[in-house]
Amino acid sequence: MNITNNKVVQFNYKVFEGETELESTHSGEPVLYLHGHNNMLEALEKELEGKTTGDNFKVTLDPKDAYGEITETEPRRVPRKHIITKGKLTPGMIVDVNTTDGPVAARVVKVGLKNVDLDTNHPYAGKTLTFEVDVVDVRDATEDEISHGHAHGVGGHHHH
C-alpha cells in the first residue's frame, strides 16, 4: 500500500546534522501520523508520498524546509513559574514553556532566581538536517482518524 492522503504511516527515523546524530526513534516507538493533514514537516511528507512498507530513504533539508532560520537573536526573560519542565534547570537544556499559544520548547540560556533566559528558536532552527527514514507500516485511516485530523494508536495521538 502506497502512502497517499488519508493513509496512516508508521516510520522510524534518525536525524543528523552533518555526521552528528541529533535524534532517533529506533530505541522507542515508531512515529505514527496521518498523511496529508499537516502533521509533519511539509518537505518530509513530500518525500514520504508514494513510499510503501519496507521502503527507506535519506533526505537532506535546508533550514527553510526543516525548522526555519534563527529568528530571535536575543534571549527572552521568562518568569520561572511559566516553565512546565520540573526539576533543576541548567543552561543548554530544552524545556517546555507555557505560552498564550500553548506549550513551546525552548533552550535555557541562563537561570536566575525568579526568571529564566530562554532561546525560543526551535532547537534545530538554522540547521541543515538529514533524515534517514524507514517506513514500518502503511494502512488506511479510520473515519475517526480522518475526522480528527490525526492518527490514533501506538505512537499517535491519544485522547485523555
Average confidence score pLDDT of the chain: 91
Spans of all domains in the chain: 7-67+125-148, 76-119
Q: What is the pTM of this model?
A: 0.77
CA 15/CA 126 separation, integer angstroms: 14
CA 42/CA 38 separation, integer angstroms: 7
Query: How many helices (H) and strands (E) would you count in the chain?
Result: 2, 9
Q: What is the pLDDT of residues 40-99, one digit of tens each?
A: 899 999 999 999 999 999 999 999 999 999 987 788 999 999 999 888 999 999 898 988
- Of all residues in the chain, the percent with pLDDT exceeding 90 is 71
SS3 43: helix
- Measuring CA to CA, how many Å separate 149 from each of 11, 124, 139? 18, 26, 15
> Which fold would CATH assign to domain 7-67+125-148?
Chitinase A; domain 3 (3.10.50)
Q: What is the CATH number of domain 76-119?
A: 2.40.10.330
- Partnered with residue 2 across adjacent β-strands are 52
Q: Is 155's pLDDT higher than 60?
A: no
Q: What is the secondary structure of 103-123 as a DSSP string?
A: -EEEEEEEE-SSEEEEE-S-T
Where are the strands (E) in 18-74, listed by range? 20-24, 31-34, 56-61
CA 64/CA 69 separation, integer angstroms: 6
Query: For 50, phi and psi rounded to 5 degrees?
Result: 85, -15
**Two domains, one topology: 7-67+125-148 and 76-119:** no
Q: Is residue 111 within 8 Å of 91, Cβ to Cβ? A: yes
